[in-house]
């Protein structure tokens, strides 16, 4: 009997740390604050309500929040600009912020654009729930003569909308809008042949620059 009791106590001691680890990890999995305590059905109802509110804002806003973009095949689709994504962030209790943009140079060392990282945080706790990086260069259409301060601002907008897309695109889709922010679409196929140099001597091929720049 004493041997069985010792074995039972040993088993209980081994189980307790494992149970505590599982318990500690559970809250971390609830990343999106507005859905943290909702059932799947309740979550869907909230998403539909937010999509309807977004459509109301889109149709009633004096400022045009939707940009129709036609691809090479002649298909026109609607994309939402940054202010629309900001509206969704506000009603979702999320806050978006950007780091200071990092200057980029071309292969000859000349200034060529900026890279920026944006973060989305829970408005109540300040915890980060999403982040994304973006770049803008003078190789893009219409950017060769744009003042540097405008490039600096544009890359922050591009990064912010991309970070918001990570957690809010499902709502945009239900509203009948494409999930890609308009800021990412307006300059598609923008890279010409060449190289972009980031930081101190780190050379990147321009085939897929945004993925290459992700941290």
The answer to whether residue 74 is domain-embedded is: yes
Which tokens sit at 115? 């890279």
Query: Using CA of residue 183, residue 184, residue 189, residue 192, what is the dihedral sign?
Result: positive
Residue 149 scores a pLDDT above 90: yes
pLDDT of residue 192: 33
pTM of the model: 0.69
The answer to whether residue 62 is domain-embedded is: yes
pLDDT of residue 209: 39
Residue closest to 87 by CA, chosen among 155, 177, 150, 151: 177
Give the domain range for residue 132.
Answer: 37-213
- Say if residues 130 and 159 touch (Cβ distance below 8 Å): no
The answer to whether residue 5 is domain-embedded is: no
The answer to whether residue 158 is domain-embedded is: yes
More confident site: 195 or 34: 34
Residue 93 scores a pLDDT above 60: yes
Place of tokens 């010409």: 192
Beta bridge partners of 117: 133
Q: CATH number of the domain that 128 lies in?
A: 3.30.390
Choose the weakest-confidence range: 6-15, 135-144, 151-160. Answer: 6-15
The answer to whether residue 15 is domain-embedded is: no
Q: Number of folded domains in the chain?
A: 1
Residue-averaged pLDDT of the chain: 77
Choose the weakest-confidence range: 36-45, 76-85, 175-184. Answer: 36-45
Residue 95 scores a pLDDT above 80: yes
């Amino acid at each position: 009997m004493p041997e069985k009791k010792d074995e039972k106590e040993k088993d209980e001691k081994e189980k307790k740390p494992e149970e505590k680890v599982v318990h500690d990890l559970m809250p971390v999995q609830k990343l999106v604050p507005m859905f943290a305590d909702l059932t799947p059905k309740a979550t869907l109802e909230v998403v539909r309500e937010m999509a309807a509110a977004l459509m109301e804002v889109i149709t009633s806003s004096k400022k045009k929040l939707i940009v129709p973009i036609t691809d090479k095949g002649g298909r026109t689709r609607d994309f939402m600009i940054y202010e629309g994504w900001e509206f969704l962030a506000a009603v979702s209790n999320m806050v978006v912020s950007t780091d200071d943009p990092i200057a980029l140079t071309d292969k000859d060392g000349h200034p060529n654009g900026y890279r920026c990282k944006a973060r989305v945080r829970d408005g109540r706790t300040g915890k980060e729930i999403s982040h994304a990086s973006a770049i803008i260069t003078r190789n893009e259409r219409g950017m060769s003569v744009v003042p540097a301060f405008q490039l600096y601002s544009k890359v922050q907008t591009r990064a912010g909308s991309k970070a918001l897309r990570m957690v809010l695109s499902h709502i945009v889709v239900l509203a009948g809008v494409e999930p890609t922010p308009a800021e990412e679409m307006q300059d598609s196929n923008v890279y010409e042949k060449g190289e972009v140099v980031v930081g101190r001597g780190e050379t990147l091929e321009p085939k897929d620059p945004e993925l290459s720049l992700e941290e």
